[in-house]
Structure 1
């Protein structure tokens, strides 16, 4: 584990964020297939897991990581007021806001207030495992 941590320390922050997002989105899909859908190992749809991982590697990691850097540039600091301002800017899509209102604002307030910039995406992706599991299940219901 220590060697993995050292290896990640040598990567660019954007690469680490992409790898983290991809791995955690893949984990969300595995959880959806195994615990929610109860497919079992023989019924596991591996291309679906790879697709979710690809979305994390290629879209969520780079885009959300960049968005957090932009938010830090637009609103520097880590006070409570700054965290609330960042949350307000982060919640700019009404349907997702209504669906996730109970989860994401508190997570993001803690994230923007307590968590250093380079770790914010990982925090969000850890919380998002449950959300990714739900999205994967919902999108792939038969």
Structure 2
């Protein structure tokens, strides 16, 4: 086995309340833009029944299909297994483990908004993801 095969990929967990908009868009961008170099998870503290259709439409404009994604519930294991945990308005519901990198991204909630209002949120997330990829793959 080569060294590259045994090196663990960095892993990132995105958490928001409903796991229907911000965290789903962030996970989709990270999956797409990292070309598989980073393990990606996305969960919610109180998941919605479905992903926000405006978020799906906004990401489709970027050539990223989120139409089959399903909101998932946040588990302690998901946090434990992630190197970086990025919260997006879930407050104290995210468990804290020593040795993890935690960030809180303050982003407007796209819930109940149309695609015109979701685009700037999407673009902000994309810029943050590009910075995150550069940081994780440089170390």
The structure with the largest helix share of the pair is 1
* Larger RCO: 1 or 2 (CA < 8 Å, sep 6+): 1
Return the TM-score normalized by structure 1. Answer: 0.31
The structure with the largest strand share of the pair is 2
Over alpha carbons, which structure has the higher Rg? 1
